[in-house]
């Protein structure tokens, strides 16, 4: 019977092409607008590293004196001091860890033909690559010795390798960061998480870095951050060394803790570390506090999805509701005009339920057609978003979940619009319709 | 087959109450061919609609083939209508988007009959009314008489035991009317109970039993002995 209903629906839609076109257009526009905002929202809110997001933790320490406040919900600064980052990096234990900051350099090959360009660089520990699932095409991360000795080495990604050398297998080649010559020890596959969750300081959706350098370079070569540096008290900082020894916070720190036991042990270690630092005159506080937040908690904590985005999604659904209301009006007129046919069907043995289903299948087919066109409109909308705002380029696309959701949403919206007209047409007494024939 | 006791039907508007049927009593036995006559507005069509469960009645008791209709919900009434009743309307009431084959197939689909059986029955019924060659035609491509024959084929496709016909020849010329009437007589001879509303006294006289409705009541019935294959002497009040 379902196939028969689809056949009837198709005939009915073809019978009134203009009304059908208007209804499909209305639902397609509604779906287009809704799916555009919903897709961006979906990409913003999706887990960027689902298989291990609950094992990666951002570390925060409450370094401020009692009475000081921060703009976070729990008053703990987002970042760590350089001192704390170095000390936490040196703590014992078999777990992955990565201090990090965003810096940048003028990159060139020191040849006449090489045109220098400015490149953001992630300055971090060697565990970073394992923790955040970067894949090496050639070579590997720098060694522990190279890290300790601040060896002049870097890792770049395949895109940058092609840009510099026209090929990806460039391990052993040299690249210049300003005046410094660095050896390339590894080339990674292109890595562009939609959300830059590991460093949310300068925008959550910025592009991931294409070049990586050991964290020991910070001290060895005075590599300053290109991200945020925040201070909570006055400190005189005349040079970079002063900054490294200050209570300013400018370094991110992540650990990978695979078990609850590791999590507990690491928390205990952080408390012990803070108590030890208290004895050295830091952490002037009554109660010591730390925070370990996994990837999804960290994104919520940092308001990755702003209220504006949520409001925008809400408004797009309201627009869809307006489209649904328009379709409802058109369906009402169309179905009531067909009431005599329904009367005949009822007289010939169709139950109210069968007539109701027949009409719901028709609006379902309408929704499917509108949903298909709506996906096209949404693609245009997303193209517009990505062309207008570079910032959203990585987010303005539909994954398969959104592609599947669009027709489902369209069908649901149309069925919602069709419920009342279908109910109205099926409940009228058959004799009333037959009399008008 | 049909048993109505003290049936009443009142149409209520804000201003006025209209009694279409009042204290309406009628018994039609299995296999009868009954012609219902009466002046316009007397309640003939209302009676036919109630008999076919196309509209509810206001009071009284109506049993069809032993089933008390007043106790059935809408779905059960639709089922019963589909299983036991065939309709022939004055205005044909064919569905314009469906071709003849599909029109005749409609009641069979609602009965859940399998495709092969549906095909067999539809072809058989179209053959019976002489329109097998026009199965793919749309209703508007046929004459009035042909359309009425399609309506009869549709009514017969479900093999109903009870056929309700409302002015089945009202829109036809005399030749076509005679053909349709002969078809109904043939169906009656094969065992179907037929109740036919008509204005035409000549047509009514061809039915073995006549009843007249005036002001919503059965006022007279006449029995023409020997006309029908089955002629039980049932009477209405």
Mean pLDDT of B31-39: 90
The closest alpha carbon to B32, from B181, B193, B199, belongs to B193
- What is the pLDDT, as a whole number, of residue B224? 58
Q: Which residue has the higher pLDDT, A99 or B219?
A: A99
Q: Residue B175: pLDDT above 90?
A: no
A434 CB within 8 Å of a chain B CB: yes
Angle between helices B100-110 and B144-157 (to 10 degrees): 20
Task: Say which CATH number the domain at B108 has.
Answer: 3.40.50.300
The closest alpha carbon to B157, from B118, B190, B196, belongs to B118
B160 CB within 8 Å of a chain A CB: no
- What is the pLDDT, as a whole number, of residue B223? 62
- What is the pLDDT, as a whole number, of residue B80? 87
Question: How many domains does the structure of chain B reveal?
Answer: 1
B232 belongs to a structural domain: no
- What is the pLDDT, as a whole number, of residue B233? 37
B95 belongs to a structural domain: yes
Q: Which residues of B touch A352 (CB under 8 A)?
A: 74-75, 78
Of A343, A350, A432, the CB nearest to B110: A350
Q: Which of residues 34-53 of B touch A (CB under 8 A)?
A: 45, 49, 52
Q: Report residue A18 as tokens.
A: 């203009």
A344 CB within 8 Å of a chain B CB: yes
Q: Which residue has the higher pLDDT, B169 or A84?
A: A84
- What is the pLDDT, as a whole number, of residue B179? 77
- What is the pLDDT, as a whole number, of residue A260? 95
Q: Which residues of B touch A429 (CB under 8 A)?
A: 54-56
Mean pLDDT of A142-167: 96
A337 CB within 8 Å of a chain B CB: no
Q: Residue B87: pLDDT above 60?
A: yes
- What is the pLDDT, as a whole number, of residue A433? 66
A102 CB within 8 Å of a chain B CB: no
B46 belongs to a structural domain: yes
Each residue's pLDDT tens digit, B39-61: 888 888 889 889 988 888 999 99
- What is the pLDDT, as a whole number, of residue A59? 97
* B78·A437 Cβ contact <8 A: no
Of the residues B78, B125, B139, B197, the best mutation for testing chain A's interface (the one with the most A CB atoms within 10 Å of its CB) is B78
Q: Which residues of A touch B57 (CB under 8 A)?
A: none
* A348·B106 Cβ contact <8 A: yes
Q: Report residue A238 as tokens.
A: 């005349």
**Scanning the structure block, which residue is given the tokens 């809110």?**
A45
Each residue's pLDDT tens digit, A3-48: 889 998 998 899 889 999 999 999 999 999 999 988 888 888 888 8
Of the residues B95, B102, B163, the best mutation for testing chain A's interface (the one with the most A CB atoms within 10 Å of its CB) is B95
Rounded Cα–Cα distance for residues B22 and A415 (Å): 43
* B107·A351 Cβ contact <8 A: no
- What is the pLDDT, as a whole number, of residue B232? 39
B233 belongs to a structural domain: no
B231 belongs to a structural domain: no
Tell me how close the Cα of A19 comes to any Cα of chain B, in angstroms.
Answer: 17
Among A271-280, B173-182, B222-231, the least confident range = B222-231
Burial group, residue A66, by CB count within 10 angstroms (0-12, 13-18, 19+): exposed
Each residue's pLDDT tens digit, A265-297: 999 999 999 999 999 999 999 999 999 999 999
The closest alpha carbon to A198, from A71, A57, A373, A89, belongs to A57
Q: Residue B84: pLDDT above 80?
A: yes
B234 belongs to a structural domain: no
B217 CB within 8 Å of a chain A CB: no
CA nearest to A428 within chain B: B55
**Percent of chain A's residues with pLDDT above 70:** 98
- What is the pLDDT, as a whole number, of residue A183? 97
Each residue's pLDDT tens digit, A365-418: 999 999 999 999 999 998 888 887 776 777 777 888 888 888 899 999 999 999
Q: Residue B25: pLDDT above 50?
A: yes
* B79·A434 Cβ contact <8 A: no
Q: How confident is the model at residue B226 (pLDDT cuts 50, 70, 90)?
A: very low
Q: Which residue has the higher pLDDT, B1 or A394?
A: B1
**Scanning the structure block, which residue is given the tokens 């960290």?**
A298
- What is the pLDDT, as a whole number, of residue B230? 41
How far is residue B116 from each of residues A8, A44, A176, B12, B133, measured CA to CA in Å? 20, 55, 81, 47, 19
Rounded Cα–Cα distance for residues B123 and A48 (Å): 63
pTM: 0.69
Contact A187, A138 (CB under 8 A): yes
Rounded Cα–Cα distance for residues B225 and B206 (Å): 11
Q: Report residue A106 as tokens.
A: 């003028």
- What is the pLDDT, as a whole number, of residue A112? 86
Each residue's pLDDT tens digit, A313-356: 999 999 999 999 999 999 999 998 888 888 888 888 888 888 99
B237 belongs to a structural domain: no
**Percent of chain A's residues with pLDDT above 90:** 68
B56 CB within 8 Å of a chain A CB: yes
Instruction: Kindly provide the b/e burial profile for residues B85-99, where b requires at least 16 CB atoms within 10 angstroms of the residue's own CB.
Output: bbbbbbbbbbbebbb
- What is the pLDDT, as a whole number, of residue B234? 38
A431 CB within 8 Å of a chain B CB: yes
Q: Report residue B65 as tokens.
A: 């083939």
Burial group, residue A309, by CB count within 10 angstroms (0-12, 13-18, 19+): middle
* A346·B78 Cβ contact <8 A: yes
**Percent of chain B's residues with pLDDT above 90:** 19
- What is the pLDDT, as a whole number, of residue A106? 95
A130 CB within 8 Å of a chain B CB: no
Q: Residue B127: pLDDT above 70?
A: yes
Domain hosting residue B117, numbered range: 2-223
B99 CB within 8 Å of a chain A CB: no
How far is residue A124 from each of residues A211, A212, A327, measured CA to CA in Å? 11, 7, 56
H or E element: which one contains A122? strand A117-124
Helix (H, G, I), strand (E, B) or coil at A202: coil
Identify the sign of the CA torsion A382, A385, A389, A392: negative
DSSP code at position A267? H
Other C-beta atoms within 10 Å of A174: how many? Answer: 13
Domain boundaries, chain A: 2-47+306-435, 63-288
The per-residue pLDDT of chain B, averaged, comes to 84
B74 CB within 8 Å of a chain A CB: yes
B228 belongs to a structural domain: no
The per-residue pLDDT of chain A, averaged, comes to 91
Each residue's pLDDT tens digit, A180-237: 999 999 999 999 888 899 999 888 888 899 999 999 999 999 999 999 999 999 998 8
Of A15, A344, A354, the CB nearest to B93: A344
- What is the pLDDT, as a whole number, of residue B228? 44
**Scanning the structure block, which residue is given the tokens 């289903």?**
A357
Q: Which residue has the higher pLDDT, A103 or B147?
A: A103
Cα-flanking dihedrals φ and ψ of residue A71, to 5°? Answer: -90, 20
B158 CB within 8 Å of a chain A CB: yes
Q: Residue A71: pLDDT above 90?
A: no
Count of residues making up chain B: 237
């Amino acid at each position: 019977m379902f196939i028969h209903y689809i056949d009837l629906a198709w005939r009915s839609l073809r019978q009134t092409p203009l009304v059908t076109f208007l209804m499909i257009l209305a639902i397609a526009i509604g779906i287009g607008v809704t799916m555009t905002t919903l897709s961006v929202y979906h990409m913003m809110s999706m887990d960027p590293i689902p298989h291990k997001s609950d094992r990666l933790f951002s570390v925060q320490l409450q370094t401020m004196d009692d009475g000081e406040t921060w703009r976070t919900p729990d008053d703990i600064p987002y970042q760590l001091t350089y001192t704390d980052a170095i000390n936490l990096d040196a703590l014992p234990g078999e777990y992955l860890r990565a201090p990090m900051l965003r810096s940048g350099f003028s990159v060139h090959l020191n040849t006449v033909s090489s045109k220098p360009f400015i490149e953001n660089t992630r300055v971090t520990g060697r565990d970073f690559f394992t923790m955040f699932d970067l894949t090496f095409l050639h070579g590997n991360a720098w060694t522990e010795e190279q890290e300790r000795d601040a060896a002049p080495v870097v890792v770049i990604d395949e895109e940058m390798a092609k840009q510099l050398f026209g090929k990806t297998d460039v391990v052993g080649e040299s690249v210049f960061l300003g005046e410094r010559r660095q050896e390339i020890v590894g080339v990674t596959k292109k890595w562009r998480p939609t959300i830059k969750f590991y460093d949310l300081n300068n925008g959550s959706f910025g592009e991931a870095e294409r070049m990586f350098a050991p964290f020991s370079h910070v001290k060895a070569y005075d590599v300053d951050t290109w991200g945020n540096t925040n201070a909570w008290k006055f400190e005189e900082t005349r040079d970079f060394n002063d900054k490294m020894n200050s209570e300013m916070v400018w370094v991110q720190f992540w650990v990978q803790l695979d078990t609850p036991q590791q999590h507990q042990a690491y928390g205990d270690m952080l408390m012990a570390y803070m108590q030890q630092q208290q004895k050295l005159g830091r952490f002037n506080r009554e109660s010591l506090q730390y925070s370990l937040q996994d990837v999804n908690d960290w994104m919520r904590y940092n308001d990755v999805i702003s209220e504006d985005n949520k409001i925008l999604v809400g408004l797009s659904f309201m627009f869809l509701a307006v489209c649904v209301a328009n379709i409802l009006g058109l369906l009402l007129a169309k179905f009531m005009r067909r009431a005599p046919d329904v009367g005949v069907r009822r007289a010939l043995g169709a139950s109210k339920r069968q007539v109701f289903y027949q009409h719901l299948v028709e609006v379902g087919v309408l929704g499917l057609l509108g949903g298909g066109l709506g996906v096209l409109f949404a693609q245009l909308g997303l193209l517009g978003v990505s062309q207008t705002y570079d910032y959203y380029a990585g987010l303005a696309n539909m994954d398969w979940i959104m592609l599947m959701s669009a027709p489902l949403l369209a069908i649901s919206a149309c069925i919602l619009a069709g419920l009342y007209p279908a109910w109205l047409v099926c409940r009228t007494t058959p004799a009333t319709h037959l009399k008008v024939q | 087959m049909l048993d109505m006791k003290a049936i009443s039907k009142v149409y209520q508007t804000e201003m006025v109450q209209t009694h279409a049927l009042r204290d309406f009593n009628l018994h039609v036995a299995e296999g009868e061919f009954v012609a219902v006559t009466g002046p316009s507005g007397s309640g003939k069509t209302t009676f036919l609609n109630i008999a076919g469960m196309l509209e509810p009645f206001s009071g009284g008791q109506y049993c069809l083939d032993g089933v008390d209709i007043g106790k059935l919900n809408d779905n059960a009434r639709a089922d019963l209508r589909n299983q036991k009743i065939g309709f022939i309307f004055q205005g044909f009431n064919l569905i314009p988007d469906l071709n003849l084959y599909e029109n005749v197939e409609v009641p069979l689909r609602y009965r859940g009959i399998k495709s092969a059986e549906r095909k067999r029955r539809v072809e058989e019924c179209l053959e019976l009314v002489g329109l097998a060659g026009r199965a793919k035609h749309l209703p508007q491509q046929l004459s009035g008489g042909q359309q009425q024959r399609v309506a009869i084929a549709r009514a017969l496709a479900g093999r109903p035991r009870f056929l309700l016909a409302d002015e089945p020849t009202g829109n036809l010329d005399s030749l076509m009317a005679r053909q349709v009437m002969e078809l109904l007589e043939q169906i009656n001879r094969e065992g179907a109970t037929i109740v036919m509303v008509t204005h035409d006294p000549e047509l009514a006289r061809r039915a073995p039993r006549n009843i007249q409705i005036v002001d919503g009541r059965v006022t007279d019935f006449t029995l023409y002995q020997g006309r029908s294959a089955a002629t039980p002497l049932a009477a209405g009040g």
